[in-house]
Structure 1
Amino acid sequence: MANYKIRVYQDLDYEVVREIFSSGMSEYVPSVCVHVLKQPWVLFVLTCTFLSLLVSSKSLILPVLAITLLLALGRHLLGYFWSLYIEHCLKEDLQDIQKTYMEGKGSHFWVAEAEENIVGTVAVKPSDDRGSELVLKRMSVRKDFRGLGIAKALSRQVISFARQGGYQSVVLNTLMVQHEAQRMYESVGFKKYVEFVLPTIYGKLVNFIISKYRYDILSAN
Structure 2
Amino acid sequence: MAEVQIRRYEDEDEEDVKDLFTLGMSEHVPSSCLHVLKQPHVQMLLACVFCALLASSKSFLLPILAVTLLLAAGRQGVNYVFSRYIQTSLSLDLKNIRQSYLEKPNSCFWVAESQGRVVGMVACLPAEKSKGCLELKRMSVKHFHRGQGIAKALCLTVSDFAREQGYPAVVLYTSIVQIAAQKLYEHVGYKKVREFVVPELIAKIMNFTLIEYSVAVKEHVMNLM
Residue 119 of structure 2 aligns to a residue whose secondary structure is strand
1:184 partnered with 2:184: yes
Q: What does residue 128 of structure 1 align with?
A: 128
Indicate how the Cα distance of structure 1 residues 130 and 39 shifts in structure 2: closer, same or farther if over 3 A, else same: closer
Alignment of 1:197-208 (within 5 A): 197-208=197-208
For residue 87 of structure 1, report the CA deviation from its aligned partner: 0.2
Residue 34 of structure 2 aligns to a residue whose secondary structure is helix
Indicate how the Cα distance of structure 1 residues 131 and 51 shifts in structure 2: closer, same or farther if over 3 A, else same: closer
Q: What does residue 32 of structure 2 align with?
A: 32
Residue 99 of structure 1 aligns to a residue whose secondary structure is helix
2:141 alignment partner AA? V
Structure 1 vs Structure 2 CA RMSD: 1.5
Q: What does residue 48 of structure 1 align with?
A: 48
Q: What does residue 70 of structure 1 align with?
A: 70
1:128 alignment partner AA? E
For residue 219 of structure 1, report the CA deviation from its aligned partner: 4.5
For residue 105 of structure 1, report the CA deviation from its aligned partner: 1.3
For residue 53 of structure 1, report the CA deviation from its aligned partner: 1.3
Deviations 1:136-186 (A, max 9, x none): 000011111111111111011000111111111100001000111011011
2:39 alignment partner AA? Q
1:143 alignment partner AA? H
Q: In the aligned structure 1, how far is the partner of 2:32 from the partner of 2:130?
A: 31
For residue 214 of structure 1, report the CA deviation from its aligned partner: 0.5
2:176 alignment partner AA? M
For residue 54 of structure 1, report the CA deviation from its aligned partner: 1.2
1:15 alignment partner AA? E
Q: What does residue 158 of structure 1 align with?
A: 158
* Structure 1 gap segments, 5+ residues each: none
Residue 173 of structure 1 aligns to a residue whose secondary structure is strand
Residue 177 of structure 1 aligns to a residue whose secondary structure is coil
1:9 partnered with 2:9: yes
Residue 62 of structure 1 aligns to a residue whose secondary structure is helix
Q: In the aligned structure 2, how far is the partner of 1:147 from the partner of 1:83?
A: 27
Q: In the aligned structure 2, how far is the partner of 1:219 from the partner of 1:156?
A: 11
Q: How many residues align?
A: 221
Residue 59 of structure 2 aligns to a residue whose secondary structure is coil
Q: In the aligned structure 2, how far is the partner of 1:61 from the partner of 1:200?
A: 35
Residue 189 of structure 1 aligns to a residue whose secondary structure is coil
For residue 204 of structure 1, report the CA deviation from its aligned partner: 2.3
Q: After superposing the two structures, state which structure 1 stretch, 60-69 or 146-155, moved more.
A: 60-69
Q: What does residue 196 of structure 1 align with?
A: 196
Q: What does residue 21 of structure 1 align with?
A: 21
- Scaled by the length of structure 2, the TM-score of the pair is 0.93
For residue 200 of structure 1, report the CA deviation from its aligned partner: 2.7
Question: Contact 1:2–1:115 (CA<8 Å) still a contact in 2?
Answer: no
For residue 132 of structure 1, report the CA deviation from its aligned partner: 2.6
Q: After superposing the two structures, state which structure 1 stretch, 58-67 or 104-113, moved more.
A: 58-67
Indicate how the Cα distance of structure 1 residues 71 and 130 shifts in structure 2: closer, same or farther if over 3 A, else same: closer
Q: In the aligned structure 1, how far is the partner of 2:129 from the partner of 2:77?
A: 34
Q: What does residue 106 of structure 1 align with?
A: 106
* Structure 2 gap segments, 5+ residues each: none
